[in-house]
Structure 1
Amino acid sequence: MTTASRRMLRMRLAAQRISTGKLTSPADVVRWMTAMQAQDFNGARWAVALRTDSATQRDMDHALASGTIVRSWPMRGTLHFVAPEDLRWILGLTTERLLRQATTRLSSLGLDERQIETARYAAIDALHGGRSLSRMELYRAFERGGVSANQQRGYQLLWILSQTGTLCFGPPDGNTQTFALLDDWVPTYRQLEGDEALGELARRYFAARGPATIRDFAWWASLRLADARRGLAVARDDLELTEFDGAEFFHEAASEQGADGIRLLPAFDEYLLGYQDRSLQLDGESLGDLVPGGNGVFPNTLVVDGVVRGTWRRPSRATSVEVTPFEPLKPRAEAGLRRPAREYARFRGEKHAEVVVTG
């Protein structure tokens, strides 16, 4: 790895608050990151907590139950954590394009505008007054309203009603995720639109994930490249430019170089999923080792000095962390596994964390 590559990785680790500059609360992390991929619910809670000083799984659950973090589909058609005040203006930037992309899928399921609006009214009727319901309870509400929820139709209805600002995830009911009306669950919010909103999104993206390219930003935010460039133009005075490997990378002027180290990141962490081009973090042929078959399902990752060097898991009903490196680890790296394993155990409320290296 070159000196320039190492510097880029250190800057990303620092910008993402993985290596340095840890934040106080889960809400602070999500606000800093603007949106954090969250379709893997357990992994997403760890993704937020590892960027704080000492947040636990219980702290994460409290943040979700109190509404200081909200879960919805703001971009790329996948679930994210967002700060409540940010959800509506982000949807305002992404919804139109995502709905166009979903036209064929909705049509294949027989979901036309009339049925979608019928489902919307059924959801409003079932949830008004601050109520929250599980996914299956909402499916039954759709059925009572005359709209079938079979064959993925229910999931698509939840997605489109969330994408268009009617629904969002509400307070968890134990291990069950619920839905609520966005107007009830998030009554106050920021009002941004047009170039102001594009500039805000660009500034925050490059501050929290830089150095990154304009194509990284456009992909992450579900924006047309032209709109991404408009946002960058608005935010440009707050950012610095670094040229690397023939491309332009933008980052916050105050970016620091974070320390190297060993880290256990969850599946779908923003350290990988925050960029269209992941070649810096995935050195050489490691993408094939990480995602065999290229199916887009990212596992938990072992990161050594900013580069993905393996995977890890927590075996069922065990307090150990099982690490599978792509290649044998050097003694320093293997010894360095103990600290992130202890941090993960603390997050889960466990007192011990044994590390088992396999492969």
Structure 2
Amino acid sequence: MSRGEKKQARTVGPEERRARLALRHRLAGGARAATAEEVAGALVALHATDPATVFLAAGARLVDGPDPVAEVERALYGERTLTRMHGMRHTVFVVPSGLAAVVHSSTSTAAAARERASLLKQLAAGSDLDAAWLAETERLVLAELAQRGEATGAELGTAVPRLREQYVYGVGTAQEGPQSVSTRVLRVLGMEGRIARGRPQGSWTSSRFRWALTPAHEELPPAEARSELVRRWLAAYGPATETDLKWWTGWKVTDVRHALAALGAEPVALDDGTVGHLLPDDLDPVRPDAAGPWAALLPALDPTPMGWQARDWYLDPDHRPALFDRSGNIGPTVWWDGRIVGGWAQRPDGVIVHRFLTDVGAEAVRAVEAEAARLAEWVGEVRVTPRFRTPLERELAAGT
């Protein structure tokens, strides 16, 4: 190559991208994980807005043997090697505890500052409560949790009556109305990493969490934290575009570009004409047949289909209306060999049902049926209804 001649970026086709997905997201049969920590580490973060997603996403990727519910609860509530926290795109995630400081410094700190400013502005507009009042309320909440160990929002409201104070939300708007400060105060403390959601009341599908103090973690320089998060994300989701990464993180495009530059990320050509990025030590091609045929039933908001904004390389655009809600949240999906080929749901009687949206052949039908039986076995008597329901999931759940 002569001086000044640009190195031509290699092309990564959809077949290779699907093979990378299968192996790195622990979906191919031979790539499944032994522990919940391995699953979370492989995916960087598990969506946790819907509590059931964490367990269903892990269960789809764990080797046969361990009970997925017990395994995730061990990591989340027993050994606390997984942490539930606010993270990317103002969303709740479960992350490896060793990554919590990275997520906090790269993403949560700025979001928490905006949330605190918003709360103070609304308190000033709709009440006589001010910053001093808020600081004292937070001090009392933290002291109560230090004494109790953990408590529900209702228990904290009883112990700290200030949490039952009300303010007028949305003054001058169509949403104007009285609102308790409790939810907002706990949300700010959670986003700042001072408290965290612990074991819920009820089953693993419940969102009625207890709150607990969080251990202090290292404060990292934001740029350093963003580079580390991108490094881990590219290892799991690369090749991917700046647009994908901006969407997944919720950052400004300049922050995305600085992180990619700091890592020396290498550009590659994608089949749709866009430019993707890989880590400099991850340029070796992956054979399209490296994973072998595989099937999976993934839950609503699973990290894999929510990992990229551009999804045409694994999802037929014609199937989007059936599988997504109006806000862009994906429902339960059926996968075969790196593509979404249908959706699934649980009926009120507990039966797992699915529907193919394309012709997949007899081998795929058998493999998907086996995955449905595996899922039904460990879910048992628990009923799972996604928080964000999609047209196909509603139809299947209703038996239509």
TM-score range, shorter chain: 0.7 to 0.9
Residues 299/145 of structure 1: CA separation in 2 closer, same or farther (3 Å cut)? closer
Match of 2:72 in 1: 60
Q: Which residue of 2 aligns with 1:40?
A: 50
2:313 & 2:148 partners in 1: Cα distance? 45
CA distance in 2, matches of 1:327, 1:268: 22
Partner of 1:196: 224
Indicate which of 85, 94, 100 corresponds to 1:72: 85
CA displacement at 1:138 relative to structure 2: 3.1
Contact kept? 2:24, 2:42, Cα under 8 Å = no
The superposition leaves residues 186-241 of structure 1 with CA deviations (integer Å, 9 ceiling, x where unpaired) of: x5x4553233222211110011122211221222122211111121122226x673
Confirm whether residue 218 of structure 1 aligns to residue 249 of structure 2: no
1:229 alignment counterpart:
257
Larger Rg: 2
2:232 and 2:211 map into 1 onto residues whose CA distance is 28
* CA offsets 1:242-282 (integer angstroms, 9 cap, x no match): 43322222235167443343210011001111222233232
Judge conservation of contact 1:30–1:82 (CA < 8 Å) in 2.
yes
| Residue 100 of structure 1: how far off its partner (Å) | 6.2
Q: Where in structure 1 are there 5+ consecutive unaligned residues?
A: 351-355
Match of 1:6 among 11, 15, 21: 15
Q: Distance in 1 between matches of 2:321 and 2:70?
A: 35
Identify the residue that residue 283 of structure 1 maps to in structure 2.
316
Q: Alpha carbon RMSD of aligned pairs, Å?
A: 3.0
- The alignment status of 1:271 with 2:280, answered yes or no, reads no
Equivalent residues of 2:163, 2:182 under 8 A apart: no
C-alpha contact 1:118 1:147 (8 A) present in aligned 2? no
Q: In the comparison of the two structures, how many residue pairs are matched?
A: 345
Output the CA distance in 2 between the equivalents of 1:31 and 1:130. 31
Give the TM-score, by structure 1 length: 0.83
CA 1:281 to 1:120, structure 2 compared with 1: closer, same or farther past 3 Å?
farther
In the aligned structure 1, how far is the partner of 2:181 from the partner of 2:318?
39
User: Is 1:138 matched with 2:156?
Assistant: yes
User: 1 CA distance for matches of 2:184 and 2:328?
Assistant: 20
Contact 2:294 2:337 in 1 (8 A): yes
1:343 to 360, 363, 374: 374
Q: Does structure 1 conserve the Cα–Cα contact (< 8 Å) formed by 2:343 and 2:355?
A: yes
CA contact (8 A) 1:300 1:313 kept: yes
Equivalence for 1:83: 96
Bigger CA drift: 336-345 or 202-211? 336-345
Q: Is the 8 A contact 1:89 1:193 kept in 2?
A: no
Task: Work out whether residues 46 and 95 of structure 2, in 8 Å CA contact, stay in contact via their aligned partners in 1.
Answer: yes
Structure 1 letter corresponding to 2:76 = L
Letter aligned with residue 150 of structure 2: S
Quote the offset at 1:301 in angstroms.
0.8
What percent of counterpart residues are identical? Answer: 23
